[in-house]
Amino acid sequence: MAAATKAGAGKRPVAMITGAHVGLGKAMTLRLARDGFDIIAADLSTEILSSLDGAAELKDRKLCKIAVDVRNHDSIKKAVATALKEMGQIDVLVNNAGRQLRAFVVDTKWEDYDDVMNINLKGAYFLSAEVARHWLANKLPGNIVNICSTHSFTGVPEGSVYGISKGGLAQMTRMMAIEWATDNIRVNGVAPATVLTPSREILLSDPQRRQKMLERLPQKRFPTPEDIAGAVSYLANPETLAVTGHILPVDAGLLAV
């Protein structure tokens, strides 16, 4: 899917992706580069973003690596300022940075609750606000894609904090979409089921646990990082101008049951 932009003649659109160095973030980064975007790859450090070096998809793209800790407001503001200085524009923001937590409600630690919320929800909120502030001030179109989860809509044991954070992210998507609907700023989300990223491969190394989770999916397969990246590609494309305030499940049919 080719990317189009109002950025100006001869200029490629620019996508900023958080948590870009591995898993879903890396897959989204490479897909958007293949779609024609220049890339702002953001993560906790620029060193870990070396995982993107040498990728064929980035060969003819401008790549800007930026360190950002979405738990810190000053870090967010600095990252956006640096991105705009280096690239001149941000056309699409993908809020992908996130943290899982498996814990029963009564065993959840106060500090872990705060950390999950700060990364998954608060960080995405204030990063979106910082980028949107630039769009609004300059009367520019914008596009935000939030990486939500099927846990935004369903309940599972040991998943309360993560699910609450992702449920909040889904509602944040709707709220921001309505607030900016007449400003030509779109906000949508993607809700993956369990995806076989490197971290999830470790989590599902127990054959019984893996089979139990697989049986919940009507397609009897886990979505891949490329499946999620394809959904982000769809929402990032300006041909979907009338799509805003929606959460697109990529879940092998889980939410249809």
What's the pLDDT tens digit per position in 112-124? 999 999 999 999 9
pLDDT of residue 212: 86
Q: Lowest-confidence range among 84-93, 125-134, 188-197? A: 188-197
Whether the pLDDT of residue 98 is over 70: the answer is: yes
Q: Does 197 score more than 90 pLDDT?
A: no
The verdict on residue 6 lying in a domain is no
Q: Which of 83-92, 172-181, 183-192, 217-226 has the lowest mean pLDDT?
A: 217-226
Rounded Cα distance between 235 and 251, Å, is: 16
Number of domains making up the chain: 1
Q: Is residue 257 part of a domain?
A: no
Distances (CA, A) of 146 to 28, 152, 160, 167: 12, 12, 19, 11
User: Does residue 31 lie within any of the structural domains?
Assistant: yes
Is residue 50 in a domain?
yes
Q: Quote the pLDDT of residue 210.
A: 86
Residue 7: inside a domain = no
Whether 9 maps to a domain, the answer reads no
C-alpha 204/C-alpha 167 separation (Å) is 23
- Decide if 125 is catalytic: no
Least confident segment among 57-71, 127-141, 159-173, 209-223: 209-223
Please indicate, yes or no, if residue 115 is contained in any of the structural domains: yes
Tell me the mean pLDDT in the region 30-52: 97
Q: Which residue has the higher pLDDT, 131 or 206?
A: 131
Q: What's the mean per-residue pLDDT of the chain?
A: 94
More confident call, 18 vs 213: 18
How far, in Å, CA of 39 to CA of 90, rounded? 9
| CATH code, domain carrying 224 | 3.40.50.720
Whole-number Cα distances in Å, 147 to 73, 105, 138? 20, 24, 26
Residue-level pLDDT at 200: 76
In a domain, 5, yes or no: no
Q: Given this model, what pLDDT does residue 203 score?
A: 72
> Range of 164's domain?
14-250
SS3 call for 67: strand
* pLDDT at residue 201 greater than cutoff 80: no
Task: Tell me what pLDDT residue 122 has.
Answer: 98
Q: Is 50 exceeded by the pLDDT of residue 4?
A: no
Q: How far is CA 106 from CA 37, 44, 118, 174, 208, in A?
A: 45, 30, 20, 31, 25
pLDDT at 1: 47
